[in-house]
Amino acid sequence: MKTHKQFNISASPFDPDVLSGLLWQLDIEGITENENSLSVYADEKSEVSVVQISDMLNSLKDQNMIASFSIDESSVEEKNWNEEWEKTIDVIEVNDKIVIKPTFRDYSPKPEQLVITIDPKMSFGTGEHETTKLVLNLLDKYIDKGISVLDVGSGTGVLSIAASLLGAEHVIGIDNDEWCLENGLENVELNKVNEKVEIKLAEIYDVDEEPFDLILANINKHILVDIADRIYQLTKNSGKAILSGLLIEDKTDITELYNSKGFSLVEEEILGEWVALVFQK
């Protein structure tokens, strides 16, 4: 039977979405998420190596996105990687109101529950990560009917879709990854919110719409630092920005920076080692 290279990768802090997004740039065949690590699979003839993966992870260290990592290589017999991966993905009850359901799982909603159906593919988040849950909880609290929303780094489109289903009138989700564009468009279609949600392949500096009532940015600290001015420009007066993808120790730096731009911190929410911050202009 054919064998494959298997790389077990741990990192601190462990952010599977960030790691997966980076590792899918390699010539690999699958990724499965474990409790505190990722298993990455590549063809036995692939040039993927510990050295190549280390180079990529060292770039994350240079950006202070991870503090340390380890990689173990072994050989495994061939499997159906997609089937193995789907076994790890389940329905997520974010709170009493919001539920995220993968397309390959059945779920009978309770009265008043809002079910978001996501086909996450193998490379994108499903709502399990603490930062996604944090933003969804705050979105449920701060959304107002009829508002406009910008979702920066939209990925699967889950936050854009949730904003629309919770009452936003116009939502734009942007991502600079073509796979995210394709996946986001599919999920918007699945949830029948095409008329209110646009998913675009774009950077935040490409956005030329009028300022938004609410901006969502569940991305990494260094990006939130780099785009702070643009987030301020694209937020309406008295509008809000919900920022996450942040470790608790990042709170002080981000708060000081965004205060200096003209925002005021109005709320924070913590889950595990992660924090989400709500700012008002």
**3-86: which CATH number, 3.40.210, 3.30.70, 1.10.3470, 1.10.8?**
3.30.70
pLDDT at 121: 65
pLDDT digits (tens, 9 = 90+) for 152-189: 999 889 999 999 999 999 999 999 888 788 889 999 99
Structure tokens at 66: 């991870």
Q: Name the more confident of 1 and 224.
A: 224
- CA-to-CA distance for 129 and 19, rounded, in angstroms? 13
Is residue 125 within 8 Å of residue 89, measured between CB atoms? Answer: no
Mean pLDDT, range 86-111, rounded to an integer: 83
Q: Please state whether beta strands 114-118 and 98-102 pair in parallel, antiparallel, or not at all (unpaired).
A: parallel
pLDDT at position 196 over 60: yes
Q: Name the more confident of 189 and 91.
A: 189
129-280 topology per CATH: Rossmann fold (3.40.50)
Contacts of 103 (CB under 8 A, 6+ apart): 117, 118, 119, 190
pLDDT at 123: 43
DSSP the chain: --EEEEEEEEEES--HHHHHHHHTTSS-SEEEE-SS-EEEEEETTS---HHHHHHHHHHHHHTTS-SEEEEEEEEEE---HHHHHHTT---EE-SSSEEEEETTS---PPTT-EEEEE--TTTS--S-SHHHHHHHHHHHHH--TT-EEEEES-TTSHHHHHHHHTT-SEEEEEES-HHHHHHHHHHHHHTT-TTTEEEEE--GGG--SPPEEEEEEES-HHHHHHTHHHHHHTEEEEEEEEEEEEEGGGHHHHHHHHHHHT-EEEEEEEETTEEEEEEE-
Domain with CATH 3.30.70 in the chain: 3-86
pLDDT at position 89 over 80: no
Domain with CATH 3.40.50.150 in the chain: 129-280
Contacts of 274 (CB under 8 A, 6+ apart): 130, 131, 134, 244, 245, 246, 247, 248
- What band does 12 get if pLDDT is binned at 50, 70 and 90? very high
pLDDT at 124: 47
For the ranges 6-15, 104-113, 190-199, 268-277, the lowest mean pLDDT is seen at 104-113
pLDDT at position 1 over 60: no
pLDDT digits (tens, 9 = 90+) for 231-240: 999 999 999 9
Cα torsion at 185, 162, 65, 49 (round to 10°)? -40
Closest by CA position to 44, among listed 72, 96, 5, 92: 5
pLDDT at position 82 over 60: no
pLDDT at 84: 63
Mean pLDDT, range 3-26, rounded to an integer: 87
Is residue 172 within 8 Å of residue 209, measured between CB atoms? Answer: yes
For the ranges 30-44, 68-82, 261-275, the lowest mean pLDDT is seen at 68-82
pLDDT digits (tens, 9 = 90+) for 113-152: 899 988 876 444 556 678 899 999 999 999 999 999 999 9
Q: Name the more confident of 32 and 152.
A: 152
Mean pLDDT, range 250-260, rounded to an integer: 97
Mean pLDDT, range 54-71, rounded to an integer: 92
